[in-house]
Amino acid sequence: MQNVVFNNGVEMPILGYGVFQIPDYEECKKSVLAALDAGYRSIDTAQAYGNEEAVGDAIKESGIERDEIFITTKLWISDYGYDRAKLAFERTLNKLQLDYLDIYLLHQPFNDVYGSWRALEELNRVGRIRAIGVSNFYPDRLTDLAEFNDIIPALNQIETHPFYQREEDQKTMQKLGVQHESWAPFAEGQSDFFNNDILKKIGGNYGKSVAQVTLRWMIQRSIVVIPKSVTPSRIKENFNVFDFELTEAEMKTIAEMDTQKSHFFDHRDPERVSWFKSLI
């Protein structure tokens, strides 16, 4: 497995397994066990996903040593603020049945980001979190957080896929020393993603699927990726992306697919911010 190295020296597998939209306990636990059996050693969950207990039970049942598994989870905006963040962290740790987290992310760039970040900084300093980061932060918000706090985020998890490639965001992250991570690498199947002619043609050169080509494209851009599936065969397929390499021409062809627009929503849209407030 190829690893990336954070700005604080902590290493993370470049390919992991995500559990977004798997709220059912049994299905989530079964899927995480399948992923661990396939070779994944990085699992991404979140407080808002409602499945931290299932992830924790799967890790325990797997019998794999704790230091061999990299665990990511995220603080939800309803628990932002210095004191609330610390309490939420303890609840999350109990659900996961862990003594520490590998990385803990602020899930959204709203509410009391800075009070929450101070809590995460303290938890990082005392060793209860190995690294801290953010999710869904655009370049201006990421730069603000990095420049005006003691600890620069180790990672920023943002929507990234062939239709929305985030080149400018990645340049800002590289300048700040923040690792780029993708969510929704397959655009959640929108725009008939899995039948895309360009990606299918490239995959045909290697006997690989559209999903595998996409994951390989991310990895060659040094982007951490966390594909989700509940189908064991696809979980295995998504892991099998280290035995081929896209050419420079193929990378450029995929680059031309970029629409530079989100396929979901813009976190800078005032109406979207109000929508997030309604979720609290």
Residues tagged in the binding site annotation for substrate: 107
49 as an active site residue: the answer is yes
The amino acid sitting at 40 is Y
User: Strand, helix or coil at 279?
Assistant: coil
Q: Distance between CA atoms of 247 and 245, rounded to whole angstroms?
A: 6
CB 44 within 8 A of CB 17: yes
Q: Which residues belong to the annotated binding site?
A: 107
Helices (H), 97-246: 113-125, 139-147, 167-176, 197-204, 210-220, 232-239
> 103: closest CA among 49, 38, 151?
151
Beta strand 70-75 with 42-44 is parallel
Q: Kindly name the residue from 40, 49, 80, 104 that is annotated as catalytic.
A: 49
**146 and 170 Cβ atoms separated by less than 8 Å:** no
Of residues 154, 162, 95, 101, the one with CA closest to residue 126: 101
First to last CA, the chain: 39
Beta strands 3-5 and 17-18 are: unpaired
Q: Show Cβ contacts of residue 57 under 8 Å, excluding neighbours closer than 6 positions.
A: 29, 97
Catalytic center residues: 49
